[in-house]
Chains A and B, each alone.
Chain A
Amino acid sequence: MSQDLLQAILLWLPPTRGETAKVTTGNPAINGPTPKSWLVEHNNWVFLLPTVLFFVWYQVYPIIRVVWISFTDYKYLTNDPANWVGFDNYVEALSDPLMWDSLGRAAYFTAMFLPGTIIIPLLLAVLIHGVQNQRLATVYRVILLIPAVIPSTLVFVLWKWMYNYQIGPINHFLVEVTGWFTYRNAPQWLGGTDLTLPSVAIMEVWWGLGYHSVFFLAGLAAIPKDLPEAARIDGASEWQVFWHIILPRLQPIMLILVILRFGTSMGVIDEYLIFGGFNRESPTYTWTIFMYDQAFKTGLWRQGFAAAIGMVGSLVMMVFVTWLIYIFRSRD
């Protein structure tokens, strides 16, 4: 069933089948009526130990620590103990127009990126799903996943060069091949212009194009073949088949991708560090950069204030993620 597609991994849905049942049943010879001895129980815990150790050390503790830091005037560089300042940092962050501007920029980017990264791969997947030559279909699938194995920074660097006004092939195409622009008025894609966020969004759509198509292809493969066939025999047009039969069955995957990509696009930081810099007017100066700037770059080393910015940004994101999950779950 496509409903538990990725369920185990990415979404914490109620355990429809499996999880809780598995815990209580199972082979009586192993975890049956006699309670496990202390030794067996703890021997089993050894398997979880490395994961728990690293996870607590570098994910759980840092977050708890950041929450604490956000309530203090903590600085890395001083030897004075940090003072508890209550909600001062939060008050300052919330009353700073830059906080809201920077959140707005992240939201603007998400609004451009999210539809593109869902709809285009969906169309591509539907197209490839109809390919009947199996060898060709395999070739397509392999090409699709190539961008997914290019590490993040290498994608950004590649596109930084693609958008370059000197040697970039995009402007070369616009100026010399088509003649639509001259070198004087050729668009400046990156570097804080209005085009910067759309340019980054195009790059991100390119990056996810193949990977997301593979998701949709898996979903399409799970639809029983006779379902669309039957509808066609009943006289439904291809469009109706797509709209009423295919699309509803792809909805779970679509919503998982929406939730996942919403999270990644609101929290983009590496791209903005590489393309943008720390100009407060730049559209790439989002809440993540605002936080990073305050923590590491301004020279003031105001980690307490930076932590508060990070928490505000995260909480706003979490509200929307929860809302999205709520929509998702209520439709099941």
Chain B
Amino acid sequence: MKKEFPLTNIIRHTLIVFFMLTILLPLAWVLLLSIKSMPDSMRGNLWPRKFDFNHYAYVFEKIDTLPQNLFNSIYVTSATVLITSICAILAGYAIVHLKPKGSLFLVTVLVLSLYFPTRVVSIISIYEIQDYLSLINSTNGLILPYITLNLAVSVLIMRSIFQLIPGELIDSARMDGAGPWRTLWLIGIPLAKNGLVVIIIVNFVTAWGEYLLAATLTNDQEVRTMPVVLASAQGGMGQWAWPRIAAVYVIVVLPGIIAFAMAQKLFFKGLMEGALKT
């Protein structure tokens, strides 16, 4: 390893730290806002003079619909992540190792759908479909379109993960008499673990923060999900005083960051294998 000239190193780290602060400061600001006392929240200073940790309890006790909205988000997101992951594992495995007729065509269509602004344009007829199925203003109804939001990407990620598993390994299992389902369960899934972490995180992030469909397909506050509630909340007085709304924000944003922190190693591995094949 070449020893670096100290000055270059100082400049390098100063610049990096600047960017790191740029990433972290907005988050630190909202976190601090959520534990500021009311008067401090109206002053702009980053560090409050007086802390107040009661906003978290307050929002759960005083905002009637909040527990319901939070539950809606958890419910819709879990269902979406579960179903999309199952679809992606099955399809990714089949495309690489079973190769039924038409799988190449399927891959082509999936890739093409990534280039087309499908999400934007399809909203017109998705509204019609949901209306036809009486799923307008229904939390359950959101799950169906949510599944497809990242379906193409998820299938393609699982496909490249399964391509890393040698065909001989799969074939030898099947020679031993295991059917395709058993092979997938016993050999495929354990080896595709890292990719699975990536698609779970990707789908979680999308479903947890989805706005367009949720705002278009629901009307009543009780059936809505957290992103719509947060986006329509106007900061100000009463229940939606700034520190309180910031507390709601922290409650919503934290699960993703914690999940990522825990799965960080697996996530990086999976990203390198699946999304960033080198």
Contacts and interface: CB of A to CB of B under 8 A. Distances in A.
Interface of A: 1-2, 4-12, 18-19, 22-23, 26-27, 29-31, 41-45, 47-48, 50-52, 54-55, 57-63, 65-66, 69, 76, 124, 127-128, 130-132, 140-162, 164, 166-167, 169, 171-173, 176, 206, 209-210, 214-215, 218-219, 221-222, 229, 259, 263, 266-267, 269-270, 273-274, 288, 291-292, 295-296, 303, 306-307, 310-311, 313-314, 317-318, 321
Interface residues of B, number: 117
B237 interface: no
A307 B260 CA distance: 39
Contacts of B94: 44-45, 47-48
A153 B23 contact: no
A174 to B, nearest CB: 10
Interface string B60-93: 0000000000000000000000010011101101
B257 interface: yes
A66 B26 contact: no
A55 B16 contact: no
A58 B108 CA distance: 17
A295 B168 CA distance: 53
A60 B180 CA distance: 28
B147 A54 contact: yes
Given A50-B86, A159-B26, A154 B277 contact: no
Which 4 A-B pairs have CB atoms at the shortest separation, nearest pair first? A151-B209, A172-B44, A47-B94, A153-B227
B260 A146 contact: yes
A124 B19 contact: yes
A317 B22 contact: no
Contact of B100 (A48, A76, A148, A150): A48
A153 B230 contact: yes
Residue among B22, B115, B151, B201 with max Cβ neighbours from chain A (10 Å):
B115
A12 B252 contact: no
B151 A55 contact: yes
B10 interface: no
Given A149-B205, A310-B124, A215 B276 contact: yes
B180 A143 contact: no
B138 interface: no
Contacts of B145: 58
A6 B277 contact: yes
B23 A162 contact: no
Contacts of A69: 124-125
Contacts of B46: 169
A210 B23 CA distance: 8
B113 to A, nearest CB: 6
Contact of A47 (B13, B93, B121, B272): B93
10 contacts: A1-B278, A45-B102, A59-B152, A127-B16, A150-B209, A153-B211, A154-B227, A154-B249, A313-B117, A314-B117
Interface in B165-187: 167-168, 171, 174-175, 180
Nearest to B146: A58
A76 B86 contact: no
Nearest to A42: B100
Contacts of B196: none
Contacts of B109: 55, 60
B223 interface: no
Nearest to B95: A48
Given A206-B23, A310-B121, A149 B201 contact: yes
Given A66-B122, A151-B206, A310-B124, A209 B171 contact: no
A241 B6 CA distance: 20
A128 B16 contact: yes
Contact of B115 (A1, A58, A318): A318
Contact of A162 (B29, B86, B148): B29
Contacts of A313: 117, 120-121
A173 B46 CA distance: 10
Contacts of B276: 5-6, 214-215, 218
A263 B115 contact: yes
Contacts of A259: 115
A206 B23 CA distance: 7
A306 B99 CA distance: 40
B123 interface: yes
Given A58-B122, A132-B1, A149-B256, 12 more contacts: A48-B95, A48-B106, A51-B88, A52-B106, A57-B129, A63-B125, A130-B4, A131-B12, A155-B209, A169-B46, A214-B271, A306-B124
